[in-house]
Amino acid sequence: MDKISRKKRSENMRRIKSQNTRPEMIVRRLCHALGYRYRLHQTNLPGKPDLVFSRRRAVVFVHGCFWHQHPCKDCADSRRPKSNTDFWNTKLDRNVERDAQTIAGLKEDGWNVLVVWECETRDVESLKVRLINFLGSVRVS
């Protein structure tokens, strides 16, 4: 049973954005502050990655823990709803499947892929180290 009314739940779901989310903005600001330059949501790449570093052949996806089902068992945000389970299980399973296909397609095309989970954006220092390890030095000739 849902804790809020059907109308209120519908209103909440309608407000959820797919681009320029808070976790995405954290990653974008951090990359920019570190000196990396990137393109946003390139439609010519599978899955429209959130950040594209063309010269490095690298992309970053910033995934919401709920919508993309963060596999970490410690992540409370990835719990599935207990109401309307048929709908949610189908929808969330399809999201996970589509993510796997997108990542595989990008890797097949020679792209390096990093997935940053929403809960990982809370620890900016750890995220900073992860981005530097993934992207390498700032200077690329």
Cα separation of 120 and 117, whole Å?
Answer: 5
Q: H or E segment at 31? A: helix 22-33
3-state secondary structure of 55: helix
- For residue range 49-103, list pLDDT tens digits in order: 999 999 999 999 999 898 899 988 888 888 888 888 898 899 999 999 999 999 9
Q: What is the pTM of this model?
A: 0.84
Instruction: Reply yes or no on whether the pLDDT at 140 is more than 70.
Output: no
Compute CA 27 distance to the chain's CA centroid, rounded to the nearest angstrom. 10
- For residue range 50-60, list pLDDT tens digits in order: 999 999 999 99
CATH of domain 19-135: 3.40.960.10
